[in-house]
Structure 1
């Protein structure tokens, strides 16, 4: 900035001080931090009102007592876990298969470049995806057990309904990110709409489709292990019965089996994704 001084022969220059944030930005930042602190204090008061700190103080000794009862794990209980473990794998596999089959058309209806109607069909497809992703698989299983009864079918349907949103969301985003030039090349040949999708879009999204499906299968194996807690079959039912009878050595054995299953499924899914993508 330059100011002319009538008594001086040379103009006067004032140095400009640079600031990272404007005064309004600094004020907004401090207001945000103040609001965050107020929210933390309010949440702490809500939590403190419903917490019995006597039990919290006793929690370490209770955890140590249960841990001592878990060891050593009851290894002779392993043969009884083979059938429930197989049921868990079937729940995850069949549920993933059903979810993928249902998610593919939903994804094409939700993608902006393949939906037949952006005003009617696409919002409905997006609503299906959001609904599926908003409800946890355990809640789906709880509802389905009340509707169709306990057993493997409730678990399979619960996993399928949960998988629709996950697979559908990632797949429709992959469809929207396809290369337009390849689609235009197929369109220039006079291909129909179904042929454009088959030759212009499907080859581009097929690697992503396989990767998403395998990844979801890996997630579903983990979720299937706990569906038995609400009666949806699998190894979770053995876990629930062992906890109810305070058979902590059996609980430790079940937890080891679940951990081993998850580790193996993670390794298998990683190899499959590497081979397919």
Structure 2
């Protein structure tokens, strides 16, 4: 904004004095919060182990190389289980997320006062808990294994998928819906012919994107007993079999890279 000097010369400044003071005060509060947090973290940290970390990391690297390549034959089924956990969990989540999304969208919900808040609560509650926590709870309920991993991934993914889908529903072109409604179509026909065709690209993109995320999440569910390659990783870590650990990490990296490539190709074809 322009500011007049003693010689009546206009000088342009980005902010007023009041805004500059508020900005500096905000930076001061942020710095104070950082100092307080750092003091708490520093007090709870054993700095001897932090200083010794490079040596420990080098020792583990020496023990882990070269990977135990002959162990690769035992990782076929675990990595297949991991892919199944991610795929089945994503499919179940999509089936559950679609009706929740329609109930949460403002332009399709039967009731904005009752039904929509319940649908939004489902979305928030399933998204707020990590898949590892869901896996721990499900293992206590239904026992360890791949099924617990599938359900954990599905519950975790419902809120994510439903949120993106209901946002896509709210952003549809209403002219097409009004045209179909004017023909005397029922509510279900309006959804089938006026809304669903418009959200199909978004739905496909969400499905592929979430599947890609679930590949990553399912690789670690075995650490808590939910099956997949994480189970072999946990067993190798517990026995300090570092060459097996390095091989498992390479297999996980390869699986994630392949899933990323597949999802990128599918999203590119959709867009």
Give the TM-score, by structure 2 length: 0.95
Task: State how 1:107-118 maps to structure 2 within 5 Å.
Answer: 107-118=101-112
1:84–1:184 distance in 2 versus 1, CA, 3 Å: same
* Aligned-residue offset at 1:16: 4.3
Gaps of 5+ in 2: 1-6
Give the TM-score, by structure 1 length: 0.93
Task: State how 1:59-98 maps to structure 2 within 5 Å.
Answer: 59-98=53-92
Determine the C-alpha separation between the residues in 2 that align with 1:176 and 1:56: 50
- 2:110 equivalent to 1:120: no
* Aligned-residue offset at 1:24: 1.5
Q: Pick the aligned partner of 1:219 from 209, 213, 224.
A: 213
Determine the C-alpha separation between the residues in 2 that align with 1:18 and 1:238: 65
Task: State how 1:228-267 maps to structure 2 within 5 Å.
Answer: 228-267=222-261
* Aligned-residue offset at 1:20: 1.9
Q: Name the counterpart of 2:42.
A: 48
Determine the C-alpha separation between the residues in 2 that align with 1:169 and 1:14: 56
Determine the C-alpha separation between the residues in 1 that align with 2:79 and 2:213: 16
Task: State how 1:177-216 maps to structure 2 within 5 Å.
Answer: 177-216=171-210
Gaps of 5+ in 1: 1-12
* Aligned-residue offset at 1:18: 3.6
Q: Name the counterpart of 2:15.
A: 21
* Aligned-residue offset at 1:79: 0.8
**Structure with bigger gyration radius:** 1
* Aligned-residue offset at 1:133: 1.1
Secondary structure in structure 2 of the residue aligned to 1:191: coil
Q: Alpha carbon RMSD of aligned pairs, Å?
A: 1.1
Q: Pick the aligned partner of 1:159 from 153, 158, 173.
A: 153
* Aligned-residue offset at 1:153: 0.9
